[in-house]
């Protein structure tokens, strides 16, 4: 088969549309170390795509070779394939593009006096000559698909093709904030962003996002930078109020390569769950750094898809990290749509004064009071009574906060009292009134959330509340289990298990975490051990996360348990002291809100 034909076939894989050409050329410019990249398109890329960079350039020989298929300067050995860090690696982009368009390449290295200009049409070299120019590379692609009419017909409307081009440039501009970018379509400048100059990568990225998306300020952006031994997640989350009803502002990168990964996107969406109105999408730009050996980027010629060795591990780390970041950010109250907006969470004093709930069904909600949470009040902006109530009532249009400041403060007190109206439905749901309507709390999900956060804090601090057992329990374990248990012991102690080896393969348990029901101690320890066994701990973050989850799941009050008024009260108070009250540790909602407006509508009372 003549090379021009095979190049044309390969071109079908690499070049689906003008945006594919932009992508390949831009990636080459990035790989070449450019500091400035400017792109000009005409006719939405069908007439002209020109990319100018000030990167390393090519020698005359390399320039000629660059149109050969599988001519890449970026892979020298099979091992390189394992750890691809540059963007291009197949060495077929230029050859493919040249097979289906008229291409002019101009390139000069800074060490050379003069550059080279090569013209290739439909894969056939037309000319090759020296060219005086500044160092760098300029590639112009004209009349794309001129010799593949079938392809040409498949192109969408120019506006659609242009949108794809903008998306490609945008993604690359996000991933490379150290590069200045311009994009013009005909006479229109569509994008112009300067080089990030700050020393703080977070600030650089924030600035880039703000410029690219034309935001007014940094205020609605949350920065994330979390590392585990397995991966690092760096980037920006939009606060919930930046939501959109359409997708398009979700950016995921793996080792600085833009990817599409539904599963991973879902991890982020699920972290936002219940913070956003239904059917809306948050803004995010997240960069995962992961050892290239744990991820396969070579699954698709367009290289947009990747496969992780441990997909579910990456999923759960991602979700945990995003949740944590969202949980500690100060969110605007009108977007906490599921939250009772008055009374409850401001009512610190009254919840502290709740008496012990001891005795009834072994549930010790009230007893533990606020101790697990009170030491870190700043982590939840709602809890600083002064500022929280100020924010609640001063800010934001819409919903429960639309009424004027002065009157609202009056309401606040009244609501606090009325929120003592609590009902339990089917021994599973706790109902309470709020100013804007009704809140329904899933008691089990809510309690899991409370215990989970408490366990997480205990694990981090190293001491959880423990209650001594009247009769210490001695348990003998099979050798395998015993070894595991010894490994787990420090974390178990942190959680409040007073436990130690007791000769041979036995352990003695003298105390248990304060939240565990009497009689369940041993079961819970076994369950935790089982969970630990079945879980291949990738690192501490997920290992502990798992421990906290199983404790929460095992010791929470279940649906079917009748709660006293005090217990309901304590449940709700403590739920709203959580960092992330709206979802259970495994992502189910804890709260459903029914607004008076919704009720009105259901009863057909419009207006
Ligand atoms: P790949 O990027 O996969 O190596 P390409 O077909 O995209 O393959 O490019 C072929 C080669 O041409 C590259 O390996 C690189 O050496 C050279 N090249 C292409 N574009 C540029 C550029 N803008 N600046 C410098 N060298 C370039
Ligand atoms: Mg390339």
pLDDT digits 0-9 by tens, 189-205? 999 999 988 889 999 99
Q: Is 58 in the pocket of ligand 1 (CB under 6 A)?
A: yes
Going from the Cα of 527 to the center of ligand 2, the distance in angstroms, rounded, reads 52
Q: Is 158 in the pocket of ligand 1 (CB under 6 A)?
A: no
Q: What is the pTM of this model?
A: 0.58
Best of 72, 89, 117, 138 for a ligand 1 pocket test (most atoms within 8 Å of beta carbon): 72
Q: Are 139 and 120 in contact (CB under 8 A)?
A: no
Q: What is the dihedral of CA 354, 360, 362, 366, to 10 degrees?
A: -10
Q: Is 67 in the pocket of ligand 1 (CB under 6 A)?
A: no
> What's the fold here for domain 394-607?
formyl-coa transferase, domain 3 (3.30.1540)
Best of 25, 31, 74 for a ligand 1 pocket test (most atoms within 8 Å of beta carbon): 31
pLDDT score at 312: 85
Question: Which residues of the chain does CATH 3.30.230.10 include?
Answer: 201-328
Q: Are 437 and 595 in contact (CB under 8 A)?
A: yes
Ligand nearest to the CA of 7: 1
Distance between CA 496 and CA 465 in Å, rounded?
5
Best of 10, 34, 66, 103 for a ligand 1 pocket test (most atoms within 8 Å of beta carbon): 66
Q: Quick one: average pLDDT of 226-242?
A: 91
Beta bridge partners of 405: none
Structure tokens at 316: 């759960």
- From the number of C-beta atoms within 10 Å of its C-beta (0-12, 13-18, 19+), residue 2 rates as exposed
Going from the Cα of 35 to the center of ligand 1, the distance in angstroms, rounded, reads 16
Distance between CA 36 and CA 383 in Å, rounded?
47
Q: What is the pLDDT of residues 19-46, one digit of tens each?
A: 999 999 999 999 999 999 999 999 999 9
Q: What is the pLDDT of residues 271-322, one digit of tens each?
A: 987 788 778 899 999 999 999 888 887 655 555 678 898 888 899 889 989 9
Q: How many CB atoms lie within 10 A of CB 512?
A: 27
Ligand nearest to the CA of 91: 1
Q: What is the pLDDT of residues 484-518, one digit of tens each?
A: 788 888 888 888 889 999 888 889 999 888 877 77
- From the number of C-beta atoms within 10 Å of its C-beta (0-12, 13-18, 19+), residue 480 rates as exposed
Going from the Cα of 82 to the center of ligand 2, the distance in angstroms, rounded, reads 17
Tokens 């309401």 -> residue: 411
Distance between CA 425 and CA 336 in Å, rounded?
24
Distance between CA 542 and CA 317 in Å, rounded?
7
Question: Which residues of the chain does CATH 3.30.1540.20 include?
Answer: 394-607
Q: Is 138 in the pocket of ligand 1 (CB under 6 A)?
A: no
Q: Is 29 in the pocket of ligand 1 (CB under 6 A)?
A: yes
The pLDDT confidence band at residue 468, using thresholds 50, 70 and 90, is confident
Q: What is the pLDDT of residues 147-160, one digit of tens each?
A: 988 888 888 888 88
Distance between CA 528 and CA 547 in Å, rounded?
7
Q: Quick one: average pLDDT of 72-98?
A: 61
pLDDT score at 108: 98
CATH of 3-193, one of 3.30.70.1060, 3.40.50.11890, 3.30.565.10, 1.10.645.10: 3.30.565.10
Smallest Cα–Cα separation from 68: which of 139, 3, 2, 143?
3
Q: What is the DSSP letter of 557?
A: P
Q: Rounded mean pLDDT of the chain?
A: 78
pLDDT score at 403: 30
Q: With 60 as the cut, is the pLDDT of residue 413 above it?
A: no
pLDDT score at 351: 32
Distance between CA 432 and CA 341 in Å, rounded?
12
Structure tokens at 418: 């009325």
Smallest Cα–Cα separation from 526: which of 490, 564, 488?
488
Q: Are 560 and 363 in contact (CB under 8 A)?
A: no
Going from the Cα of 28 to the center of ligand 1, the distance in angstroms, rounded, reads 5
Q: What is the DSSP letter of 295?
A: E
Going from the Cα of 72 to the center of ligand 1, the distance in angstroms, rounded, reads 6
Going from the Cα of 235 to the center of ligand 2, the distance in angstroms, rounded, reads 26
- From the number of C-beta atoms within 10 Å of its C-beta (0-12, 13-18, 19+), residue 291 rates as exposed
The helix/strand/coil state of 425 is strand
Q: How many residues can be counted in the chain?
A: 607
Going from the Cα of 172 to the center of ligand 1, the distance in angstroms, rounded, reads 17
Question: Which residues of the chain does CATH 3.30.565.10 include?
Answer: 3-193
Smallest Cα–Cα separation from 555: which of 423, 438, 451?
451
Q: Is 97 in the pocket of ligand 1 (CB under 6 A)?
A: no
- Can you tell me which atom of ligand 1 is nearest the CA of 27? 2
The runs of H, that is alpha helices, within 395-539 are 405-418, 443-461, 479-495, 521-534
Going from the Cα of 27 to the center of ligand 1, the distance in angstroms, rounded, reads 9
Q: For the chain, what percentages of helix, strand and coil (3-state, to nearest 5) are there?
A: 40, 25, 35
Going from the Cα of 87 to the center of ligand 2, the distance in angstroms, rounded, reads 7
- Can you tell me which atom of ligand 1 is nearest the CA of 86? 2
Residue nearest to atom 25 of ligand 1 (CA): 57
Q: What is the pLDDT of residues 347-399, one digit of tens each?
A: 222 333 333 333 333 232 332 332 222 223 233 322 222 222 222 222 233 33
Q: With 60 as the cut, is the pLDDT of residue 444 above it?
A: yes
CATH number for the domain formed by residue range(s) 201-328: 3.30.230.10
Q: Is 32 in the pocket of ligand 1 (CB under 6 A)?
A: yes
Going from the Cα of 60 to the center of ligand 1, the distance in angstroms, rounded, reads 13
Q: Are 345 and 383 in contact (CB under 8 A)?
A: yes
Residues 6+ apart with CB under 8 A from 392: 333, 341, 342, 346, 401
- Can you tell me which atom of ligand 1 is nearest the CA of 96? 6
Smallest Cα–Cα separation from 583: which of 440, 448, 458?
448
pLDDT score at 21: 96
């Amino acid at each position: 088969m003549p090379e021009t034909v095979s190049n044309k076939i390969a071109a079908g894989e690499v070049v689906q549309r003008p945006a594919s050409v932009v992508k390949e050329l831009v990636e080459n410019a990035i790989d070449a170390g450019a500091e400035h990249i400017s792109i000009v398109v005409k006719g939405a890329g069908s007439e002209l795509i020109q990319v100018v960079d000030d990167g390393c350039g090519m020698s005359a020989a390399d320039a000629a070779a660059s149109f050969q298929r599988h001519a890449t300067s970026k892979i020298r050995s099979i091992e390189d394939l394992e750890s691809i860090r540059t963007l291009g690696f197949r060495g077929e982009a230029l050859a493919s593009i040249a097979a289906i368009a008229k291409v002019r390449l101009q390139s000069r290295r800074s060490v050379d006096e003069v550059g080279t200009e090569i013209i290739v049409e439909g894969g056939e070299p037309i000319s090759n000559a020296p060219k005086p120019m500044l160092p760098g590379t300029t590639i112009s692609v004209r009349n794309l698909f001129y010799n593949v009419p079938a392809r040409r017909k498949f192109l969408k409307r120019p506006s659609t093709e242009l949108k794809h081009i903008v998306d490609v440039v945008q993604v690359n501009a996000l991933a490379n904030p150290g590069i200045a970018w311009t994009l013009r379509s005909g006479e229109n400048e569509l994008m112009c962003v300067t080089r990030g100059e700050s020393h703080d990568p977070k600030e650089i990225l924030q600035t880039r996002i703000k410029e690219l998306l034309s935001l007014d300020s940094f205020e609605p952006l949350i920065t994330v930078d979390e590392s585990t031994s397995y991966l690092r997640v760096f980037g920006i989350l939009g606060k919930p109020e930046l939501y959109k009803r359409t997708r398009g502002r979700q950016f995921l990168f793996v080792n600085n390569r833009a990817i599409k990964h539904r599963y991973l996107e879902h991890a982020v969406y699920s972290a936002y769950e219940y913070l956003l109105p239904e059917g809306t999408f948050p803004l995010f730009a997240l960069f995962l750094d992961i050892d290239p050996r744990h991820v396969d980027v070579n699954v698709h010629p367009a290289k947009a898809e990747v496969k992780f060795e441990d997909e579910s591990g990456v999923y759960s780390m991602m979700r945990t990290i995003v949740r944590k970041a969202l949980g500690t950010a100060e969110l605007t109250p009108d977007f906490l749509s599921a939250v009772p907006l008055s009374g409850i969470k401001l009512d610190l004093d009254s919840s502290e004064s709740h008496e012990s709930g001891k005795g009834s069904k072994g549930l010790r909600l009230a007893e533990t009071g606020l101790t697990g949470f009170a030491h870190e009040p700043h982590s939840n902006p709602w809890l600083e009574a002064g500022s929280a109530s100020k924010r609640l009532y001063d800010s934001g249009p819409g919903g429960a906060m639309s009424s004027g400041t002065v009157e609202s403060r009056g309401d606040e007190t009244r609501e606090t009292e009325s929120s003592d109206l609590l009902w339990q439905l089917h021994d599973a749901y706790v109902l309470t009134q709020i100013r804007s309507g009704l809140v329904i709390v899933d008691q089990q999900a809510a309690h899991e959330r409370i215990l989970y956060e408490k366990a997480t804090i205990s694990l981090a601090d190293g001491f959880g509340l423990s209650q001594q057992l009247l009769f210490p329990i001695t348990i003998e374990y099979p050798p395998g289990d015993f070894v595991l248990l010894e490994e787990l012991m420090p974390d178990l102690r942190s959680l409040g298990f007073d436990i130690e080896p007791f000769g041979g393969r036995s352990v003695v348990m003298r105390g248990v975490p304060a939240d565990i029901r009497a009689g369940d101690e041993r079961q819970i320890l076994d369950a935790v051990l089982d969970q630990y066994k079945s879980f291949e701990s990738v690192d501490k973050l997920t290992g502990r996360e798992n421990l906290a989850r199983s404790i929460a799941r095992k010791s929470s009050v279940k649906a079917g348990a009748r709660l006293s008024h005090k217990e309901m009260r304590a449940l709700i108070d403590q739920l709203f002291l959580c960092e992330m009250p709206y979802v259970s540790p495994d992502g189910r909602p804890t709260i459903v809100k029914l607004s008076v407006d919704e009720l009105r509508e259901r009863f057909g009372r419009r207006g």
